[in-house]
Amino acid sequence: MAGSNPSPSTQLNLPDLLAEADIKTLLMVLVTFDHDERILDECQPYITGAWDYMENIPSYLREKIITRLADLLSDINAGKRPRTATPTAELLEKMMSTFVGQPIPSEYIPLTTQQFSFPLIPEARGKHSGIASRATKSDFKVVIIGAGMSGICAAIKLKEADIPFIIFEKNDAVGGTWYENTYPGAGVDTPNHIYSFSFEPNHDWSEYFAKRDEIFKYFEAVSEKYGLYQSIRFGANVTDAVYDDEHASWKVTAEFSDGTREVVEANAVLFGVGLLNRPSVPNLQGLEKFEGPVLHTAQWDSSVKWKGKRVGMIGTGASGMQVGPTIAPEVEHLTIFQRSPHWVTYNPNYHRRVTPGKEWALKNIPYYADWYRFQLFWATADSLHASLHVDPTWPYLDRSLNETNEKMRQALIASVESQIGDDPELLAKVIPTYPPYGKRMLRDNHWYRTLKRENVSLVTERIAELQAGAVITSDSQKHDIEVLVLATGFSVGQVLGPINVHGAHGIDLRSIWGEDDPRAYLGITVPNFPNLFIMAGPNTSPAHGGSAIFNAECQVNYIVQALQILATGEYSAVDVRKDVHDAYNERVDAQNAKMVWTHQGVNSWYKNRHGRVFASIPWRMVDYWSWTRKFEPGEYNLR
Ligand code: NAP
């Protein structure tokens, strides 16, 4: 994590180290200190996009940046210059826009100063954080359910706000999805330097997109650093959360593996159970007759032997895209059963390791890590949002949404063609008919190269049934399989999992949400469920990009303010007003209707059985960030 000791290479001098770092980010650091707009203007024509590889800055300019920055850093190290600098708001905006190759609206300035620890503009400092320290009642308590990314984030911020809590965690470790998902090749496809808490950056990632073990260790280390372990009850499977109207409190029941139960009474309950948590096992005819091992990606059993065997894999989503190419070289044959193809994008950083020079820059150069994080934020998030709106006048609405989306489609097709264009039959199977981003955009994990392997076949006929040692497809073909991998995703409709949740007057949450129609205000609060807060709730899943951690931090910022109202004893119950909740959800649906996720040609885990998009967030990150900065008591019934 950020506090670890820098390890400058003894082999390299400063300019050599800088030459390994990202030149655009170095440019930002330079201008942060010397405020020289001319070099920004000189570089601007050569910067074509936000990612670090989206530039062709000529060598004479690179040398100029590196030489000047090396001098500047030497001065800083020698104590001749301060380590901090404060550009004006106007300069910061110009720098940000030059950095990512497109204008950054000024509305992003408050977000960036809060999230990225930039050289702070004095007037922006602290202005947008709703949290201030307040005295807490001594007997106040919150139950957090889940010690995954959301629960850890919440616990840290509750601790900072002096709000007592305990965490019930069903596993025997923290980390949630990063603990449970151990399938070969499991990793993140959001860049790690943004897929980490903004308040706990990690400069030690070995790859730009780290693998599961490293991410799991990060969450373990953060939990340790913030002293969370003493507040976690492991192996505690929460079965019920019931609101007590009289005492304005929640009774939360957990079951342990030895059959014992514990009931904790708390003033508030915070669900951090994760949307992508409960594996979805498809209802395939004859599944019980398949005699070999069946491995769901989210419940991988490492004792099962799959090497050298005939393996079948159902599903080609984010999990399948990672496990398939990882196991293919070591199995006798891999048969991939694809129901519908996904769009897949190529990113040169996906398999790259972080070089020593880059790691050195992250750890040692002032503001480098903050600028780099901002770059990733912009590259992966809101820059795409506008292109995912439907243009009703666009003539090809069946396959794309608008001109930009069509160009993206053509570029993605060209990328696939460059890899498997010599096999028209395979090409036809893998090009989706729906617009890019209709389903979650995947990263090319050598996917097409894998499909071309001699020991891999891609089957697109529907699965008719399973028999002992075989999958039978609708064309009556028998595919001999020894081990079956289910890369079939998660049951997401029940956002709070199988937990029985009863609110005011005993209302059962399932009677409101049904099987798969969850709604909440800002994805966080539900009318008649006072003092209940949800993380990763309905319509909060980032789908145009970004990091789920960013949204989690937004939610925690909001929830802590609500809890403070309760913890100070000002009120005993906060319950979102139904009119506020309903109006918000109408806006969600109206906005989603304009977005790619509701496209008729797409089925995805974002949609429920009636086609309503209940999982993905239709807003820009900056919108969600600003709406969750300040808890508005006027939107709640307070008792
Ligand atoms: P998913 O995206 O829901 O994909 C499930 C796959 O299984 C799809 O290809 C689906 O086909 C197929 N499938 C489901 N039921 C089937 C059936 N009865 N017959 C045939 N095929 C069936 O699940 P996932 O891949 O586990 O990913 C879920 C989410 O988890 C991702 O979108 C992402 O948010 C997260 N995730 C992230 C990473 C990462 O790299 N950070 C890695 C893994 C997961 P259809 O497409 O036709 O429905």
Tens digit of each residue's pLDDT (9 = 90 or more) over 385-407: 999 999 999 999 999 999 999 99
On the 0-12 / 13-18 / 19+ scale of CB atoms within 10 A, 395 is exposed
User: How many angstroms separate the alpha carbon of residue 489 from the centre of ligand 1?
Assistant: 4
Check residue 121 and give its pLDDT.
40
Residue 620, Cα to own-chain centre: how many angstroms? 14
- Taking a C-beta distance cutoff of 8 angstroms, is the pair 330, 307 a contact? yes
Binned at pLDDT 50, 70 and 90, residue 111 comes out as confident
Whether residue 197 has pLDDT greater than 90: yes
What is the model's pLDDT at position 8? 44
CB atoms within 10 A of CB 20: 16
pLDDT in tens, 216-243: 999 999 999 999 999 999 999 999 999 9
Q: What is the DSSP string of 15-80?
A: HHHHHHS-HHHHHHHHHHHH--HHHHHHHGGGB-SSSTTSB---HHHHHHHHHHHHHHHHHHHTTS
For the CA of 321, the closest atom of ligand 1 is 25
Listed residue (581, 557, 617) closest to 131, CA to CA: 557
Cα of 440 vs centre of ligand 1, distance in Å, is 9
Confidence band, pLDDT 50/70/90 cuts, at residue 7: very low
Q: Is the pLDDT of residue 4 over 60?
A: no
Strands 165-168 and 232-233: parallel
Binned at pLDDT 50, 70 and 90, residue 123 comes out as very low
3-state DSSP call for residue 169?
coil
- Ligand 1 centroid to residue 317 C-alpha, Å: 4
Phi, psi of 394 (to 5 degrees): -70, 130
Q: Looking at residues 84-89, what average pLDDT do you find? A: 83
Q: Give the chain's length.
A: 639
Instruction: Answer for the pair 295, 486: CB distance below 8 angstroms, yes or no.
Output: yes
Q: Is the pLDDT assigned to residue 318 strictly greater than 80?
A: yes
For residues 370 and 460, is the Cβ–Cβ distance under 8 A?
no
The residue nearest atom 20 of ligand 1, judged by CA position, is 339
Which atom of ligand 1 has the smallest separation from the CA of 548? 34
pLDDT tens digits for range 585-620: 999 999 999 999 999 989 999 999 999 999 999 999
* Span 336-357, average pLDDT: 95
47: β partners: 55
The torsion of the CA quartet 101, 103, 109, 113, rounded to 10 degrees, works out to 0
pLDDT computed for residue 546 by the predictor: 84
Mind listing the pLDDT tens digit for each residue in 509-542?
999 999 999 999 999 999 999 999 999 999 999 9
Instruction: Supply angle C-alpha 61, 65, 67, rounded to 5.
Output: 110
Q: Which atom of ligand 1 is nearest to the CA of 486?
A: 7
- Supply 290's token pair: 């398949």
- Is the confidence at residue 355, as pLDDT, over 50? yes
Task: Please give the domain boundaries of the chain with CATH numbers for all domains.
Answer: 14-127+366-382 (no CATH), 142-278+492-633 (3.50.50.60), 287-343+412-432+436-486 (3.50.50.60)
Residue 12's pLDDT band (cuts 50, 70, 90): low
